[in-house]
Structure 1
Amino acid sequence: MPADPTDRLRAALAQAGHQSSDFDLNPDTTLPVGRKLRPAGVLVAVSLAGPEPEVILTKRSSALKHHPGQIAFPGGKQDEGDRDTTAAALREAREEIGLPEDLPEVIGYLPEHETVTGFRVTPVVAILREQFRVVPEPGEVDEVFTTPLDHLLNPENYMVESRRWRGQRRFYYTVPYGPYYIWGATARMLRGLAERVRE
């Protein structure tokens, strides 16, 4: 029986930390003065229902306008009806993958993350102690899969890669797993968790 990582994760999340952003590895980026970021929440759901702790991720639909085909946490922007970004993350997880909102046990938060698309994302970390029936949202989610928590908590599995974006070379984190290319904001937030756990 694998060790329950809940206490270790709680301790890591309780540490003070700095916000992260899609620009961490690109310090020469000039951000607009007075920019307004839209609040959003994503759910970093750690499932303990299987033989080893795993994190639930999605592969976004290739038909979407923004970030088609990319690997992401369940989540999205905070709507008017959402009490806060935690409520937004839980609602979106229900809509995107069929996760019942009363199943996740929220244990803490990672520092907010600013995305290149203008969102201020709160990563909500939660434990799932029971299995649930995964129902991907048609048109938005192509696939729901899990990645071993140990893989994501090992800093040695992270790499820095780059590509040209809007005429400039942009650097970003990746943490590949099997056929899945986890990169960008998702990889950056996961790396922040790995750094905290290892401290």
Structure 2
Amino acid sequence: MMIDPLDPVVRALGRPSAASSDFDLNPEFVPPKGRKLRAAGVLVGFVERQGDFRVILTKRASHLKHHPGQIAFPGGKQEESDADVVAAALREAHEEVGLLPDMVQVLGQLPAHETVTSFHVTPVLARVHSDFSPHPEPGEVEEVFEVPLTHLSNPANFLIQSRRWRGQQRHYFTVPFGPYYIWGATARILRGLADGMAE
């Protein structure tokens, strides 16, 4: 009987885990009163390449107003036309990287992540057909790349770093890979997955 390399991912989805936020490492930060969180969905897509699974990530276009040049999962805010956050993640993945919904098998969802920019982000984990060939949308995405799951599932590859933000020192997770500086909410979501897979 062959073992599915994504079994640890599926097992992680079945384990109880807490929601995460950009404030996990910054407990002194108090969000503004009355702020409203906007629902969003991101696709954590696993695609098999030559026997190994890799995670699909994007580098946002440098001209964007919000988070230019940052590393992110395909995804975005939930629109009124979306049935739920899963539909939002699939729609955005199609728009941003050309991933057709029929090439995706949804495995489940991780607990939502709250961002400092007032998004309630649900990571949607999915197996992506190996025939997938990315086509980045130039208005939003500068580059589509893939990172080995073995790298992202190892908690030892994650670091905690900090920088000044709005007059305060803000701490955040990073998980560097080659020339790519993966940090912030994306790294925090991946760290949660890595912890779940390590149990």
**Which bracket does the TM-score occupy, shorter chain normalised?**
over 0.9
Unaligned runs of 5+ in 1: none
Measured in 2, the distance between the counterparts of 1:4 and 1:59 equals: 29
Q: TM-score, normalised by structure 2?
A: 0.96
Identity %: 62
AA of the residue aligned to 1:148: P
Residue 139 of structure 1: CA displacement? 1.6
Measured in 2, the distance between the counterparts of 1:130 and 1:151 equals: 19
Measured in 2, the distance between the counterparts of 1:148 and 1:6 equals: 12
Measured in 1, the distance between the counterparts of 2:60 and 2:155 equals: 25
Residue 3 of structure 1: CA displacement? 5.6
Q: Which residue of 1 aligns with 2:44?
A: 44
Secondary structure in 1 matching 2:11: helix
Residue 98 of structure 1: CA displacement? 0.3
| Counterparts of residues 107-146 of structure 1 (less than 5 Å) | 107-146=107-146
Q: Which residue of 1 aligns with 2:188?
A: 188
Residue 35 of structure 1: CA displacement? 2.1
| Counterparts of residues 1-199 of structure 1 (less than 5 Å) | 4-199=4-199
Secondary structure in 1 matching 2:116: coil
Residue 146 of structure 1: CA displacement? 0.2
Secondary structure in 1 matching 2:102: coil
Measured in 1, the distance between the counterparts of 2:27 and 2:8 equals: 32
Residue 130 of structure 1: CA displacement? 2.3
8 Å CA contact 1:76, 1:92 repeated in 2: yes
Q: TM-score, normalised by structure 1?
A: 0.96
Secondary structure in 2 matching 1:47: strand
Q: CA separation of 1:50/1:3 partners in 2, compared to 1, >3 Å: closer, same or farther?
A: farther
Secondary structure in 2 matching 1:57: strand
Over aligned residue pairs, what C-alpha RMSD do you find? 1.2
AA of the residue aligned to 2:10: R
